[in-house]
Structure formats: structure tokens, C-alpha cells
Amino acid sequence: MVDQHATVHVVIPNYNGKRFLAACLASLAEQSCSSFAVTVVDNGSSDGSLEYLQATHPGVRCLSLAENRGFSAAVNAGILAGSAPYVFLLNNDTELPPDCLDQLVQAADKQQEFDFFAPKMVGFADRSVLDGAGDGYLRGGAGYRLGTMERDSALYNRPRPVFGACAGAVLYRRDVFDRVGLFDEDFFAYLEDVDLNLRMSRAGLRGYYVPASVVYHIGSATTGSKINAFTVRLSTRNSFWVLLKNYHWSLFIRFFPVICIYQCCWLVFAVKKGQFFPYCKGVGEMLSQFRSMRRKYYRQQGIDQLSTAAFAGCLKEAERDVLASIIHRRSEQGRGSRLLRLYGMLFL
């Protein structure tokens, strides 16, 4: 799987994920696309992941970081280690059907006006349930995987432009990183792909959803659960950082109501889950780097190809997609969406 002339460079971050690697790499070995190379970036694992890879997968390049430096640092190291025109980021807790890469590359070759490509992500255990069909965005400071927890249906079988993509499985043209930079390593984990999605949007780059390409995803395999002290602390901190890094001051004024609504809802959610103190710690860490993150906004203004007004319009449309997805999911579950519809009427 190592080929200096590969079309696709597959980058897999790994932290104590030995139990997932066999299935993930076996599914890559069965790909109908033959022109790809695989790099696993190990984040200081202590479960024998490196030894396992060296003993059983000699064709896979292994990069070893001395300690766990987080998702962003791992994928950045992998991206920089290759030169293929396409970069495919892939979580270790995934399996791919044999045509997954082929479908993405075909879409990328055909849709030259788009810069990144999101596959259909479905649940690993129950493959009738979606994990995500491209990403939308909440203007209060969070991403949302469209279709998540919904039953797969014809609604999600239509290829279409999409605002963003989950970094757990996405194909980028390599020059994306030349134009907007790599993942922000200060984020460590969580919302680093939301930050990248916003930077790509500001730069006028566009994404495309490819439902014919499917990825089976377990989810939250490294942290053990979706809601815990670690995820709440980093999600809280990084949500504010996303805003500080990507909003012109006028957008803070324009989006002030929706920022307050989202952040208050997140606080209530954290309290209900018994995570008030991790939430407070996240806020404290955000404040300690407030100026640093704001300086990043001014340093990266050179990437902007959209006016502030045009960027605001993109964000509004991305949130409209999120609202439609959430309402659809709640309808499937027999739940009402009166407040969500009111929010849409008032703010969208």
C-alpha cells in the first residue's frame, strides 16, 4: 500500500486503538482503488499498536509521536508526510466497503469545482442508521453532522454541495491545506474540523457530499463515550475558539442572539449531564487564550475570498440545513419541534 506515485494518501490517527486497526486496515486492503498509500500516525499509544503494525502490516507507513499530542497534531503529521494529490483522513474505528475510495476519487475527478468530499457515514453496529451525511454549522459555535441518528433513506442518497465534512472520514484536495493551512493543533481534539470548515468557507472553497461512498463508523472509540469531562471541557473551550478565530467583529454583533442561545443550551446540557465543572474549566482555558485566538483571526485574514456578508450568508444556509436535519430526526422519533421552528422563523 506504499506507493510514491499514489493518487490518495490515507491518513489514520491512532491512540491506543490496536483493537480497531485490523478491521480498518483489512477493509483498506480490499479497496478497488489501487493507487493509494496508508500512513498511521500513532499518538504515543501504550497498547502495543506500533508493535502490532510493524509485525503485521509492513506495507503501512507508521509515524510515531512520543506522546499524545491530539487529533490535530496527528493528522497534520500524516498530511505533511505524503505528496499525493488527494488526502483521505480516516478514523481508526471504521470499515470501508471495497468501492469507498473509488467513489470519492471519481466524484473528485468529475466535480472539479469542489475542494473536499464527504462520504456517507453510517453506524457500525446498526448500518441502517446514519452517523453523518456531510456537516452543517450552528452559528453559535458548533458543527453538526447532517442526518446523524436518522434512519438512512432516499433523502440522503442525493449527491449535493455541503458546507463541511467530519474529519473522521473526508477526502481533501491537497492544495486545500496550502490555501487555508493545516488543522489547528491548539484545539487538540474536537471542533478542529469545524474550524477548518469555516476557514475553507471563508476562502471560497466548496464541499460535496458523495452518498455512493460509504464509511461504517463506531464513534467515540478513543474517549470511550460521547459525553464525559474530557469532551465537555474541550468542546466548551473549542466552541468559543471557533468563533474567535473566524468571526469578524461585526458577526459577533449580528449573531449575538444565536450565539447566546447556543451557548446557554450547551451550558444547560453540561449541567444536566453532571459536567458543570469541566464546562467551567473549558471556559477558563478559553479565556486564558482569548487574545491568542483572536490574533489568529487577524493573521489568517489573507485567506478570505468572501466578503463578511457573503460568509454570513453561507453560515446562515449551513444552519438552515442543520435545523431541517434535527426537525426531521425528531419527527422520525415522534417528537415535536415547536421551539426549533420558532427559532427558524426568528433567526433564519
Does pLDDT of 3 surpass 70?
Answer: no
pLDDT tens digits, residue range 55-110? 999 989 999 999 999 999 999 999 999 999 999 999 999 999 999 999 999 999 99
Q: Tell me: pLDDT of 10 over 60.
A: yes
Give the C-alpha separation, 88 to 90, whole Å.
Answer: 6
Q: What per-residue confidence (pLDDT) applies to 219?
A: 76
* Cα distance between the two ends of the chain: 47
pLDDT at 225: 54
* pLDDT (0 to 100) of residue 4: 65
Give the integer Cα–Cα distance in Å for 146 and 342.
20
Q: Is the pLDDT of residue 1 over 60?
A: no
> Where do the domains of the chain lie?
8-217, 229-347
What average pLDDT is seen over the chain?
95
pLDDT at position 223 is: 46
The pLDDT tens digits for 112-140 are 999 999 999 999 999 999 999 999 999 99
The string of DSSP codes covering 56-106 is: H-TTSEEEEESS--HHHHHHHHHHHT---SEEEEE-SSEE--TTHHHHHHH
pLDDT digits (tens, 9 = 90+) for 330-341: 999 999 999 999
Cα(28)–Cα(100) distance, integer angstroms: 9
Phi and psi at residue 76, to the nearest 5°: -60, -45
Q: Residues of 210-249 as b/e, b for ≥16 C-beta within 10 angstroms? A: bbbbbbbbbbebbbeeebebbbbbbbbbbbbbbbbbbbbe
> Mean per-residue pLDDT for 197-223?
90
Model pLDDT, residue 227? 87
Q: Would you state the pLDDT for residue 5?
A: 81
pLDDT digits (tens, 9 = 90+) for 155-191: 999 999 999 999 999 999 999 999 999 999 999 999 9
Location of C-alpha cell 461585526: 250
pLDDT at residue 34, rounded to an integer: 87
Place 2 in a pLDDT band, splitting at 50, 70 and 90. very low
Joined grid coordinates for residue 295: 490574533
Contacts of 1 (CB under 8 A, 6+ apart): 28, 29, 36, 37, 38, 59, 60
> In the predicted model, is pLDDT for residue 270 greater than 90?
yes
Consecutive H or E run containing 43: strand 36-43
- Residue 177, Cβ density class (10 Å: 0-12 exposed, 13-18 middle, ≥19 buried): middle
Assigned superfamily of 8-217: Spore Coat Polysaccharide Biosynthesis Protein SpsA; Chain A (3.90.550.10)
- Please tell me the predicted confidence (pLDDT) of residue 224: 46
pLDDT score of 21 more than 90: yes
